[in-house]
Amino acid sequence: MRALFFILTAGATFAANLPPDHAKRMDRGLKLFDNEVASLLKQNCLKCHGGEKLKSDFDLTTREDLLRGGSHGTAVVPFDAKGSRLVAMIRHQKEPNMPDSSPKLPDEAIAKIAAWIDDGAPYSAPLVTGKKPKKDLSVVTEEDRKWWSFQPLRKVKAKSIDELLLKNAKGLSFAPQAEKAVLVRRLSLDLTGLPPAGVSDTSDFSDLIDQLLESPRYGERWARHWLDVARYAESTGFEQDYDRPYAYHYRDFVIKALNSDMPYDQFVKWQLAGDEYEPQNPLALAATGFLGAGVFPSQITANEVERTRYDAMDDMLSTTGNAFLGLTVGCARCHDNKYDPIPTADYYAMLSTFTKTTRMNVDVHPDGKVTSAVTTMDKKKNTPEVKDATRMMICAEGYDPIVMHTQGGPFFDQTFVLKRGNTDMKDREAVQGFLQVMSRPQDAQRWQWQPPAGAKSSGKRRTLSNWITDVDHGAGALLARVIVNRLWQHHFGTGLVPTPNDFGKTGTPCTQPELLDWLAAKLIENGWKLKPMHKLILSSRAWQQSSARDANKEAADPANGLFMRFVPYRLEGEAIRDSMLAVSGVLDPTMHGPGTRDENSKRRSIYFNIKRSQLIGSMVAFDQPEPLVSQGARPTTTVAPQALILMNSPQARQWAEGLAKRVSGAGDAAKQIAMTYRLCFHREPKPAEMATGLDFLKSGASLADYCQVVMSLNEFVYVN
């Protein structure tokens, strides 16, 4: 418990290590400082360490700076000269020797400095008059905890989303409600990524929401959103970019979890530690593919092993911070975060969670029993290959096949606090802890989980998952805020926090903080179920507004942060392609299983195999991001290749021919045009549109030509 407290406070007081007679010794040390040590330090050390310059980032002008240490790690441990790096350096027992450009200090001088450190290394005044210590960013203050996203959820009294939006509307009002046909199409694209099929505009809207939420197409649509956040891909990246043939099990887990409305806190826990919650459940094991989805070099030299290991752990921690907490935790790898209260000590305390976590393939037989992995090495590829049965890519604790191959030995057993993120500058062993800004030392035991005897894992990841989902004492309030913001973002095109992966000081502030907290509280009240939250948002007057423009509103609220109109947004590349497949009547509804890189595939785009070095061209053209790090939001560009794909690609032509075949039996040309509009836009063509279509067909163009033009219109690729 004392060790954990030390990591969490990470300050320079070393309160946990004070000896019983520390006060007496500090008094003695002060006299020694005034009479002897201060002058020794000024004469021999100050010039390079806080006087004229600052070598190795080590400043000894104040006690606070002295105890902070430098690029080589902690220099002085109060009351422990033997354990202080500074003493070993001035004795020339540890490099770099100090002083580095002159002979060793006299033994008498060294003895006095050592005695002073044994007496607590006290200062009576800075060595440079008027010098103040640097702000200690490693100490998280109550002021730091006042940042809005670190606060407990406020209790907001309101009956609806609309009430809270209108409360802050600054005299503005909602746009008129959209027509039923517009809402039906918007709803279907929103929840399933597909145009409505066979839906009557007289259908009860609430029932239609329920129907679409229960559709298996819902999970496929919303899983794609999450896979961006999880930086999901099916290859290792880097130059070799070897395939991960079983990574698709994680994609399938996400689809299944969303379709079954798995509580979001369980969704999070399984992705961090499914193997520690339900080690015999294949779905729980597949969930941990979240941690293993990042890039990893498959060919490294022996001297790169340790650095590569820290890179892999950093990928796991940084993605955890971005995806679940909306925080850039990874920025503290080399130095205390300059903007958010995330000290380097907190980063390494959390990083140690993954000390023995690595990727491996686990056999999962049809009867659901999990057996040991059978891993063989392919010497030509220098990457682990697995034979037999059905397998999934997961993260587990134990030996890493890649490191075993390159290093010839087991995994590292310890994680160290590194100065400047450099593996050659180890400071001390890191002990698991969490972000101080959302935890207190006295609460540490409530999150601890001890695995049963014989378990293969340490329990650290389950401990992390307990903290991250704890609403009252841990990070649970922020966890809830982040996910409801993601829901809002994909329903409205932008989030209440427009930077969904950054709820810190470098992100864009929340435009509706009361509403965000109200939604987060509703999520928790509903047992972390996401489907009721979807329905709550979709049933609001705010979501059902039209996109009618109003000059006064746009002048008062250019970014629409008040949400007083619905702003049209373009569909992602996957939804555009899936919609074309759907209206052409050739969409293959087969779910789950291995994917493909064949653009002629008729399955939904979520089943494309994502190889980092060979992304699907049509998806990239429509702004699918590179899956290297967590992506909270996609950009929306308008570039020529997008139009060229719709006009010239063989796939678009095939789908146009499929749509033409589908509508050809509707009757005469007017009826064919009307059916095309109903399938593509869920509405009847206007008189001018009908006239234009008839003229086009009379000009000698084929019905397939016409269908391809319609599928290339803005209305087809935008949500209105």
DSSP string covering 114-147, please?
A: HHHHHTT---SS-SSTT--PPP-TTS--TTGGGS
Is 163 inside a domain boundary? no
At 411 the pLDDT is: 61
Same domain, 304 and 203: yes
Same domain, 409 and 470: yes
CB 233 within 8 A of CB 247: yes
Same domain, 81 and 206: no
In terms of residue numbers, what domain contains 113? 2-118
Same domain, 394 and 480: yes
List, in sequence order, the alpha helices (H) in 561-639: 573-584, 617-621
Pick from 478, 265, 281: nearest CA to 362: 281
Q: Which of 94, 118, 142 is the last residue of a domain?
A: 118
Same domain, 212 and 359: yes
Calculate the CA 663 to chain-centre distance. Answer: 44
Same domain, 260 and 185: yes
Give the Cα separation of 581 and 583 in Å (integer).
Answer: 6
Q: Is 38 helix (H, G, I), strand (E, B) or coil?
A: helix
Is 530 inside a domain boundary? no
At 263 the pLDDT is: 98
Is 148 inside a domain boundary? no
Q: Which of 99, 118, 137 is the last residue of a domain?
A: 118
Same domain, 464 and 378: yes
Same domain, 348 and 472: yes
Instruction: Give the CA-trace dihedral at 266, 270, 272, 276, to 10 degrees.
Output: 120
At 14 the pLDDT is: 37
Q: Is 395 helix (H, G, I), strand (E, B) or coil?
A: strand
Give the Cα separation of 602 and 610 in Å (integer).
Answer: 16
Residues whose CB falls within 8 Å of the CB of residue 393, separated by 6 or more in sequence, listed in order: 244, 246, 247, 249, 250, 289, 292, 359, 361
What total of structural domains would you count in the chain? 3
Element counts in the chain: helices (H) and strands (E)? 31, 8
Same domain, 302 and 396: yes
Longest dimension (CA), the chain: 107
At 366 the pLDDT is: 55
Give the Cα separation of 183 and 372 in Å (integer).
Answer: 51
Q: pLDDT averaged over consecutive 10-residue blocks of the chain (720 residues)?
A: 28 51 91 94 91 87 87 86 92 87 87 95 91 72 92 95 95 95 97 91 91 97 98 92 90 97 98 90 90 87 87 95 97 90 93 88 55 26 34 53 33 85 87 93 90 86 97 97 98 97 95 97 98 98 95 91 95 97 97 95 97 95 94 94 94 97 95 97 96 96 97 96
What sign results for the dihedral spanned by CA atoms 63, 68, 74, 79?
A: positive
Is 552 inside a domain boundary? no
Same domain, 346 and 262: yes
Element containing residue 315 per DSSP (H, E): helix 305-320
Is 171 inside a domain boundary? no
For the full predicted model, state whether its pTM sits above 0.85. Answer: no
CB 438 within 8 A of CB 478: yes
User: What are the beta bridge partners of residue 588?
Assistant: 603
Same domain, 104 and 193: no
Q: Which of 118, 147, 162 is the last residue of a domain?
A: 118
Same domain, 110 and 239: no
CB 112 within 8 A of CB 32: yes
Give the Cα separation of 81 and 66 in Å (integer).
Answer: 14
At 374 the pLDDT is: 22
Is 64 inside a domain boundary? yes
Is 561 inside a domain boundary? no
Calculate the CA 175 to chain-centre distance. Answer: 34
